[in-house]
Amino acid sequence: MQSFLKTGKLGPQEKPATSGSSQKKKTSVCTPWVEKYRPRTVNDVVEQGDVVEVLRQCLGGADLPNLLFYGPPGTGKTSTILAAARQLFGDIYKDRILELNASDERGIQVIRDKVKKFSQLTASSMRPDGRPCPPFKIVVLDEADSMTHAAQAALRRTMEKESKSTRFCLICNYVSRIIQPLTSRCTKFRFKALGEEKILERLQLICKEEGVNCSEEVLQLLVQTSEGDLRRAITCLQSCAKLVDKGTTVCPTDVLEVTGVVPEQWLEELVTVCRADDYARLESFVERLSCEAYAVSQLMDQLLKMIISAENISDRQKAVICEKIALCQWRVSDGASEYLELLDLGCAMAKALRS
Amino acid sequence: MSLWVDKHRPTSLSKLDFHKAQAKRLKNLVQQGDFPHLLVFGPSGAGKKTRVLCLLRELYGAGVERLRMENTSFTTPSNKKVELMIISSNYHMEVNPSDVNIYDRVVVQELLKTVAQTHQFDATGQREFKVIVVTSADQLTKDAQHALRRTMEKYMATCRLILVANSASKVIAPIRSRCLGVRVPAPTIEEIAAIVTGVGKKESTLVPPELAKRIAESSNRNLRLALLSLQAARVQQYPFTPDQSVPSQDWLTYLRETANMIVKEQSPQMLFQVRERLYELLTRGVPPGLIFKGLRVLVRNCYDAQLKMEVVERASMLDHRLQQGSKAIFHLEAFVAQFMSLYRRFMSKKIEML
């Protein structure tokens, strides 16, 4: 508890399962459920069979390779390594782990100084209380795909030279942004997007623990909108539970509002307007839509799904439209104006649907 | 004399004029004494900031209105010093990191960590966390947004972020998934008209319904703009007449004139003149994105659907480049030139056909 107050770091996880009720009450007030229900042991990690197997063996005494975790957000990459570290090192795990993420300065200088120094320290194979523990430290580089190439290159030799005393764990969303020499030094593990039933199971568990009234329908909706991202599903569930009055049940419209999903009728109207091939109507529609403040990138995601499964559009038209969606999506995420991009997309769709 | 926009800003969630259902939910949220990070997004003049301030007031009481301003300086890794103004009360802090352009990452890293690592001395009777309001969060560079990711989780116990953005698409997905999204749609024309009349009444000014409606319509569903133009109209002429003209912003008029010039004549000389006018607008601090949006009225002047679509395509491409590039004038001028050439080609073809 003391250390939790001091740094505000990883507090809820450290809390032993049998902590006093008074402490529990205090932390539970402001703990996001994502933190509260983070897996505490490697065995708790949902799915991700391979990596769990490797880590389990390592816990049993086998050697740990350098690791590279990659996969979509919310699949448990950070949770897994933190849980493993806690199991490996027990209460001294704070001293044995160096966690650097995108919020820390991670230029080449930091790699040269901080990481190198940390990795050169030797670790004993004993805990202070005399119990054995693995004789190495772990450097966790979270969100490694946002490191510069120069900084990544600086890691190369360090990783090899200090392999006696240090293991590295790189975590990223896109493995292609990690330079080849680093990937070849690590064992790669891909984290799959979680299956729907796994997410559902987890959500049901949380609902039961937290006493949230949630119908099956609502949970299904949450699972669908989360697209395999467990963190997103849990955050949404918590937000929904907080927004409604105490005691009432969460209804599907709440979920839609919280997740920011654009209602179907807007998408249908967009397609109808495009079919009508009338610029003035399209413009006024886009104007109305942008006043509603839905996220255009979200709209495009949904539109893409709708177009792909639409039956009255030929394959050729679909191809043209999808390409345009890709282009506009990219521009929007780059910071271009949503209004113009949507208008452009609308025009392109009208043109494609005409022929 | 203060602006009516500020003077009549609602100060509590129950006094908000529109999106009442949402206000009620926000109230529920606050009454539980705690909330997750928030991402408030909506078009400008829809009342995002008002909602955030109401929320804070509900949370901390009147203390949040005692504000002070301080200039804080941050040191970048290359030892450059950047200054940023921070508005803060005892409980919250309001920053706009995008003011320091590409150094916003430093600000985000430093500021969040220092705030998040300090604790309230006496937690009894107070909230256990501080709130940091980050305005124009969509303007943050990708680097800065990535820097927020893990920090947001790590310091959850001591600080909450409220990100205020114009559009949610420019906020990266990992951040969106860590926040509770609060969508604030623009008020409808009727709602604006009602508020305009209401504010008029509070200022003991009688606003004829026709005028209120016209002010609302000309504001493009932007409440702030509507109230500003109401006040401007009051200064211009009072008592109001129903057919009184709604004062528009002069840069908008200027831009409209420019657009008319472009449609009237397409020649290198005209391009030169237009360029000067665009420069004029830029030096007056009109953001290039808005100029682009203003120029799109050109599209309405095209007669042919095919031509319109082509112009829109060019516009969206150049708008994207404008965001990427550094000199706005290049892209604005490119758009004007491309429009001129497209328009002219189309016109000459039309004449040939005749």
User: Where are any strands of DSSP class E within A88-226?
Assistant: 97-100, 137-141, 166-172, 187-190
Residues A104, B221: C-beta atoms closer than 8 Å:
no
Give the residue among A223, A227, A278, A228 at the shortest CA–CA distance from A252.
A223
List the single best residue of B98, B114, B316 to mutate versus A (max A Cβ within 10 A).
B316
Q: Could you give the C-alpha distances from B27 to A93, B35, B55, in angstroms and in order?
A: 41, 11, 8
Q: Are residues B156 and B115 in the same domain?
A: yes
Taking only the tens place, the pLDDT of each residue in A107-135 is: 777 778 888 888 888 777 777 777 777 78
- Whether chain A has a CB inside 8 Å of the CB on B157: the answer is yes
Band of residue A293 on the pLDDT scale cut at 50, 70, 90: confident
Provide mean pLDDT across the span B287-292.
83
Residues B33 and B123 both lie in one domain: yes
CB A232 to CB B154 under 8 A?
Answer: no
Query: What SS3 state is found at A137?
Result: strand
Residues B158, B212 within the same domain: no
Contact B183, B167 (CB under 8 A): no
pLDDT digits (tens, 9 = 90+) for A168-220: 899 998 889 888 988 898 888 888 888 888 888 888 888 888 888 788 888 88
Is residue B241 included in any domain, yes or no? no
Does A282 score more than 60 pLDDT? yes
H or E segment at B134?
A: strand B130-134
Provide the pLDDT for residue B124: 56
E strand or H helix at B135, and its extent? none
CATH number at residue B113: 3.40.50.300
Q: Helix, strand, or coil here: B38? A: strand
Do B264 and B164 reside in the same domain of the chain? no
Of B283, B301, B280, B281, the closest CA to residue B291 belongs to: B281
Domain that holds residue B152: 4-183
| Residue B339 covered by a domain | yes
pLDDT category at A324 given cuts 50, 70, 90 is very high
* Contact indicator for A143, B151 with CB cutoff of 8 Å: no
Residue of B29, B149, B292 lying closest to A243 (CB–CB): B29
What 3-state class would DSSP assign to B338?
Answer: helix
Residue B73 is given by DSSP the state E
Enter the tokens of residue B79.
């030892």
Q: For residue B262, what is the domain's CATH number?
A: 1.20.272.10
Helix (H, G, I), strand (E, B) or coil at A336: coil
Given B183, B200, B219, which residue is the final one in a domain?
B183
Taking only the tens place, the pLDDT of each residue in B140-157 is 888 888 888 777 877 777
The phi and psi torsions of A72 (rounded to 5 degrees) equal -65, 160
Instruction: Judge whether B284 lies within some domain.
Output: yes
* B245 within domain boundaries: no
Query: What ipTM was predicted for this assembly?
Result: 0.83
pLDDT at position A215 is 81
If asked whether residues B72 and B131 sit together in one domain, one would say yes
B150 touches chain A (CB under 8 A): yes
Which has the closest alpha carbon to B331: B314, B346, B348, B345? Answer: B314
Is A291 or B77 the better-scoring residue by pLDDT? A291
pLDDT higher at A273 or B150: A273
Per-residue pLDDT at A250 exceeds 80? no
Alpha-carbon distance of A313 to A321, in angstroms, equals 10
Indicate the average pLDDT of chain A. 80
Q: Which helix (H) or strand (E) holds B40?
A: strand B38-41
Angle, CA of B166, B167 and B170, to the nearest 5°? 120
* Residue B118 forms part of a structural domain: yes
Tens of pLDDT, residues B89-143: 888 888 888 888 778 888 888 887 787 777 655 555 566 778 889 988 888 888 8
Among the candidates B236, B268, B298, a domain finishes at: B236
* pLDDT of the residue at A8: 41
Chain B residues within 8 A of A296 when measuring between CB atoms: 167, 169
Least confident of A255-264, B31-40, B236-245: B236-245
**Which of B35, B138, B177 comes nearest A73 by C-beta?**
B177
Query: Is B156 in contact with A328 (Cβ distance < 8 A)?
Result: no
B242 located within any domain:
no
Are residues B140 and B97 in contact, defined by beta-carbon separation less than 8 angstroms? yes
pLDDT of A5 > 60? The answer is: no
Between CA B105 and CA B134 the distance in angstroms is 13
CA-CA distance, A159 to A144, in Å (whole number)? 15
Per residue in B237-255, pLDDT tens? 777 777 777 777 788 888 8
What are the pLDDT digits (tens) for B175-199?
A: 887 888 888 888 888 888 888 888 8
Closest residue on chain B to A107 (Cα): B77
Considering the domain architecture, whether residues B200 and B348 belong to the same structural domain is answered as no
Interface check B341 vs A, CB under 8 A: no
User: What end-to-end distance do the CA atoms of chain B give, in Å?
Assistant: 62
Other CB atoms within 10 A of residue A277 CB: 16
Average pLDDT score over residue span A42-48: 78
DSSP 8-state class, residue B78: T
Determine the pLDDT at residue A22: 40
Q: Could you tell me if B214 and B288 lie in one domain?
A: no
Number of domains in chain B: 3
* Chain-chain contact of A11 with B186 (C-beta, under 8 angstroms): no
Q: Which chain B residues are Cβ-neighbours of A337 within 8 angstroms?
A: 289, 292-293, 316, 319
Cis ω for the linkage preceding B209 (within 30 of 0): no
pLDDT at B163: 92
The verdict on residue B243 lying in a domain is: no
**B353 burial via Cβ count (<10 Å: 0-12, 13-18, 19+):** exposed
Question: CB–CB of A244 and B147 under 8 A?
Answer: no
Which residues in chain A have Cβ-Cβ distances shorter than 8 Å to B185? 291-293
The answer to whether residue B351 scores a pLDDT higher than 60 is: yes
Task: Assign A304 a pLDDT band (cuts: 50, 70, 90).
Answer: very high
Q: Are residues B146 and B199 in the same domain?
A: no
- Contact assessment for residue B181 and residue B39, using Cβ atoms and an 8 Å cutoff: yes
B283 and B333 part of one domain: yes
| Interface contact flag, A73 B32, Cβ < 8 Å | no
Residues B115 and B207 in one domain: no
Rounded-to-integer distance, Cα B75 and Cα B257, Å? 45
The full DSSP string for B184-204 is -PPPPHHHHHHHHHHHHHHTT
**Alpha helices (H) along chain B:** 4-7, 20-31, 48-60, 104-117, 142-154, 173-176, 189-202, 209-218, 223-236, 250-264, 268-283, 288-295, 297-300, 305-324, 328-353
Q: Are residues B74 and B215 in the same domain?
A: no
Q: How far apart (Å, rounded) are the C-alpha atoms in residues B254 and B286?
A: 12
B-chain residue closest to A289, CA distance: B185
- DSSP code, position A126: B
Residues B162 and B199 in one domain: no
Asked, for residue B177, whether it belongs to a domain, the answer is yes
Residue ending a domain, choose from B203, B236, B269: B236
Cβ atoms B176, B168 nearer than 8 A: yes
Q: B325 in contact with A at a CB cutoff of 8 Å?
A: no
Residue A102's pLDDT is 67
Using CA atoms, how far apart are residues A170 and A187, in angstroms rounded to an integer?
10
CA distance B299 to B21: 38
